[in-house]
Structure 1
């Protein structure tokens, strides 16, 4: 990896510009990666989200979550838009790429739906509510993915990989 490469780890956000020409990468299983491209301004961002939203007891204490803006999808999208300075971006200018949300466990539980599916559904709902156009989705199934955002080229790529047998 070169110094231009930024590994966006679980619960992290990263933003870069065309001038910085960084490459943002997230390796995803059940986590969902949300990549945003604002081509008109040459700004891109990537969030690596662990869970869709906090449980009620955690939501009551937001100060404790400072520094974990990407742990939850519900916090990550507004934080990423804010870091990009895109709160007032014209509708349709920001594009999104979603990847991840896999079911990495072979068994299903009756407690809740697979976390990957919940992550993806929450991301899709929030993007629709924010009127951000999703241009590419590669989610679900049982394979891991790597989402790459090339900020210099204002482009993205998703690579799939399967877990060892």
Structure 2
């Protein structure tokens, strides 16, 4: 990797522009990666979300509410849009790519649905509510993925990989 490559780790958000030409990457299992491309302005961003929303007594931290953390999908999407300066973007101009949300455990619990499915569902609901057009979805199943957003070229790629053994 070179200095243009940015590894977006769990609970992180990264943004870039066509001029910065950074390549944003997230390696995902049950986490969901939300990539946004605003081609008209040459801006893009990537959020690597661990959970759909705070549960029970858990609350978003000050850092999460100020857009510096992507632990929860409900906090990450608005923060990503804000960091890209896209709050007033015309409807349909921002495009989204979703990846991840896999079921990385072989067993299902009776307590709740697999967390990957919950993450994807929350991301899809929020994107619909924000009127962001989803142009590509590669989610679910039992394989991991790497979501790459090339800000210089204003494109994306999703690579699948299987769990060893």
Normalized against structure 1, the TM-score is what? Answer: 0.96
The alpha-carbon deviation at position 57 of structure 1 amounts to: 1.5
1:100 equivalent in alignment to 2:100: yes
Describe how 1:75-86 pairs up with structure 2 within 5 A. 75-86=75-86
1:125-165 CA-partner distances (Å, limit 9, x unpaired): 00000000000000000000000000000000000000111
Query: What is the alpha-carbon distance in structure 1 between the residues aligned to residue 84 and residue 101 of structure 2?
Result: 24
**What secondary structure does 1:56 align onto?**
coil
C-alpha change, 1:113 and 1:13, in structure 2 (3 Å) is same
Question: After the TM superposition, which segments of 4 or more aligned residues of structure 1 sit over 2 Å from their partners?
Answer: 61-69
| Aligned residues: CA RMSD | 1.3
How many residues are paired up?
164
Q: Please name the residue that 1:124 is paired with.
A: 124
List alignment gaps of at least 5 residues for structure 2.
none
List alignment gaps of at least 5 residues for structure 1.
none
1:60-118 CA-partner distances (Å, limit 9, x unpaired): x6437457530000000000000000000000000000000000000000000000000
Describe how 1:36-51 pairs up with structure 2 within 5 A. 36-51=36-51
C-alpha change, 1:64 and 1:90, in structure 2 (3 Å) is closer
